[in-house]
Chains A and B, each alone.
Chain A
Amino acid sequence: MDFKYSEEQQRFRRELQDFLEEELRQGLWQPSCDAWIMGFDPEFTKRVAQKGWIGLTWPKEYGGQGRSYVDRLILTEEMLRYGAPAGCHWFADRQIGGSIIIYGTDEQKKEFLPMILRGEARVGLGMSEPEAGSDLASLKTRAVEDGDGYIIDGQKVWTSGANQMNWIYLVARTDPDAPKHKGISEFLFEASLPGVTVNPIIDITGRVHFNEVFLDGVHIPKKCLIGEKNRGFYQILHQLDYERSGMERLMGNYPLFEALIKYTKETKRNGKPLSEDPLIRSKLAQLKIEFEVGRLHMYRIAMVMDEGRAPNWESSMSKVYGTTFEQHLANVAMEIIGLYGQLSPESKWVPMLGMAHESYLSSKGYSLQAGTSEILKNIVALRRLGLPTQ
């Protein structure tokens, strides 16, 4: 048992920090919360790609670096710590590339992997539908074989990143007569095809991350099918393990945590910094303790993946843990700033660039997206603890 980073990993972390510090010094972007899903900066993504930091864990034969998942966690941890605008490549790097490596044909690998590595694949995730949320297998979007391709009809909702996407990863029903889990397939196709309409959903923060996607007779070639026809539900479960498993579930709002600590040191009440108030000290220390325990949950997952096993209940457990932490962080930040928490980010008087206000609102969605906390606890109960279903 060993919790230390290797010298190479320590060097890698320093290299990342130096890179990000230099980017900040040059004023190329501003740190922000949720930058992994809200920060779209193609130039930043290009610079990250040039460093070889997309596809870090992919085998070298596919253009990756063949490095460990612990290395990748160090990479994502630093991106999140700095609030770097990594939205253009995050999804494709995190889960789409990996899925194509496992399930894709040689042709698909040749077509998509280099594009992802160059940071040019902005992929929207088309899973949920109006009648298929936690019960994803109930989805109704149809993909019907038609000559040399498929015709897709239906509607997706809460499609992450569709407003920015150039490709869409979509699950659709290919066998309506099969049991619902066994008639679903996965597709990856260009979002600009005729019949694809994206309708952004303005969320509680006033921003857009989720979208409705309408698919009206979209004709896609057969080569867009990823993996085995009608096995898509099982493939997507594997992908979801990766989607849920990352440091972004713990550190999406890390810039707020740092800003809050600074705020309590610099803000005086009754002539003393807030950070000297025992109640505030206790709250911040509790957050730090929860954060550090959360980091260990995340590193455990990376070690599981390095053993060659897909994280399963571990990623469900860590996502519930991480999003609970992020909600707690936002709540504590709002408590500490009191009346100022009401102020919108653009207000003259708002502290911490309005990050507390935004995180408080956006954190309501964290425990819903990529699997609700309730579904994830079910997974832990059934798969880790072996509790019965009936």
Chain B
Amino acid sequence: MDLALSEEQEMVKKMARDFLTDKLPKAVVKEMEESELGYSPDLWKEMTELGWVGLVLPDKYGGSGMSFLDLAVLLEEMGKACLPGPYFSTVVLGGLPIIDTGTEEQKQEYLPKIASGEIIFTLALTEASARYDANAIEVKATADKDDYILNGTKLFVPDAHVANYMLVVARTDEKAKAEDGITIFIVDTKSPGISHTVLKTIANDKLCEVVFNQVSVPKENILGQLNQGWSEVQKIVQRAAVAKCCEIVGCVQQALDMTIDYAKERKQFGRPIGSFQIIQHYCADMATDVDGARLSTYQAACMINDGLPCIQEVAVAKAWASEVSQRIMSLAHQIHGAIGYSIDHDLQYYTRRAKAAEVTFGDASVYRELVAQEMGL
């Protein structure tokens, strides 16, 4: 057992913090959030050059061959900096699944282009039911000679408006059990019949409605096995949940840091408000929640990194991070007082993102049920 980051991870952390502090003041975050693209192609290029996009992709496909744990450290920093854009979609939701189950041709086709920043990927998984279980997959893919024809609507698809490709989770066998008739397709977003609408969201991230109307996808674009995609989807969701926890940890750590700074500076009744015990206890509660979220997140990340079974650890991490993020942000606002309520104050970025992250890839109630199952209840 060892809680220290490796030397390499410390370097990733420092590099990320320095870069993001320099390049991503909140005015830039605001600009990116308000822009149509939702990210800055210039910054994307710089991140690519720093090796971030290819961080976890194998060397032979142009990546740096680093580990999921290294990525976890980077994601925490991105959460701390409120980085908008398609990094998560491209790397966590696109690149990693292709490494998992892609054919050699698929890897050679897509991974080098991801690593070089040339293409953006995303995952079209959730639908109108807004659930992450197999029954929720209703978009159909019907075999038609050498192709499959996709029909239906996906909701809450991140960054679909800028993605070059998306992994689409579709039902290919309606007669089979819900889990047994699902296939993942790699879909070129320029394919005729695809349309998208960017949804207005609490985090100003670019979640989209994506409609598939008779979209033709070649059979060779199946990722993994026909009708057996659900196990890979579970793996994607599990990994994405932990990756989201990393962002949450960065987010709530920053909210705590800002709150402590404010409590030291803000004076009322002739003394810093941080000298009042009620404020001190709020801050101690926040720190306890931040630490618990970090410990459980990194435990889950380590297990994913090592390829170990970790249903319970992931569930504990996401349930806890989701739950405490809301407590932490509420206390951060309470301590900041009215100034934190202003749109011009940085705190609101974290509040909005924490809310979005809480529910993305499963909220606490979803994971509580998973834990209950793991307990044999």
Contact = CB atoms under 8 A, between A and B. Distances in A.
B292 A297 contact: yes
Contacts of B367: 289
A389 B272 CA distance: 9
Contact of A387 (B5, B9, B280): B280
Given A378-B277, A381-B283, A261 B302 contact: no
Interface string B341-377: 0000000000000000000000001011111100111
Interface in B240-276: 260, 263-264, 271-272, 274-275
A265 to B, nearest CB: 7
Interface string A266-295: 000000000110101110111011001110
Given A381-B284, A386-B260, A285 B368 contact: yes
Nearest to A314: B291
A376 B264 CA distance: 20
Contact of B295 (A264, A275, A293, A302): A293
Given A296-B295, A387-B275, A388-B275, A4 B280 contact: no
Contact of A293 (B260, B272, B296, B365): B296
A307 to B, nearest CB: 9
B319 to A, nearest CB: 5
A40 B370 CA distance: 39
A2 interface: yes
Q: Interface on chain A toward B: helix, strand, loop, or mixed SS?
A: helix
A238 B347 CA distance: 38
A377 B276 CA distance: 12
B372 A285 contact: yes
A342 B104 CA distance: 66
Q: Interface on chain B toward A: helix, strand, loop, or mixed SS?
A: helix
Contacts of A288: 316, 371, 375
Contacts, number: 143
Interface in B312-332: 312-313, 315-316, 319-320
Contacts of B1: 2-5, 70, 299, 302-303
Interface string B50-68: 0000000000000000000
Contacts of B88: none
A69 to B, nearest CB: 10
Given A293-B296, A293-B316, A382-B280, A261 B375 contact: yes
Contacts of B280: 377-378, 381-382, 385, 387
Interface residues of A, number: 46
B3 interface: yes
Given A380-B284, A388-B264, A293 B320 contact: yes
A2 B298 CA distance: 9
B369 A296 contact: no
A18 interface: no
Contacts of A294: 292
Contact of B288 (A265, A289, A321, A378): A321
A390 interface: yes
A143 interface: no
Given A1-B298, A387-B264, A388-B275, A317 B368 contact: no
Contacts of B288: 317, 320-321, 380
A374 interface: yes
A387 B263 contact: yes
A182 interface: no
A383 B342 CA distance: 31
A117 B302 CA distance: 37
B296 A281 contact: no
A89 to B, nearest CB: 25
A2 B3 CA distance: 6
Contacts of B263: 387
A1 B260 contact: no
Nearest to A73: B1
In this complex, the member of A70, A282, A289 whose beta carbon has the largest number of chain B beta carbons within 10 angstroms is: A289
B287 A380 contact: yes
A374 B3 contact: no
B285 interface: yes
A280 B303 CA distance: 29
B295 A300 contact: yes
A281 B292 contact: no
Nearest to B292: A293
Interface string A1-39: 111110000000000000000000000000000000000
Interface in A193-212: none
Interface in B1-29: 1-6, 9
In this complex, the member of B9, B284, B306 whose beta carbon has the largest number of chain A beta carbons within 10 angstroms is: B284
B281 interface: yes
Contact of A289 (B277, B283, B319): B319
Interface in A355-387: 374, 376-378, 380-382, 384-387
Contact of A285 (B272, B284, B285, B371): B371
Given A280-B377, A289-B320, 19 more contacts: A1-B3, A1-B6, A4-B1, A70-B1, A284-B372, A284-B377, A285-B375, A288-B316, A293-B296, A300-B3, A302-B1, A374-B281, A377-B284, A380-B283, A380-B287, A381-B284, A385-B260, A387-B264, A390-B275
Interface of A: 1-5, 70, 261, 264-265, 275-276, 278, 280-282, 284-286, 288-289, 292-294, 296-297, 299-300, 302-303, 317, 320-321, 374, 376-378, 380-382, 384-390
4 A-B pairs with the lowest CB-CB distances in the bound complex, closest first: A381-B280, A380-B284, A296-B295, A377-B284
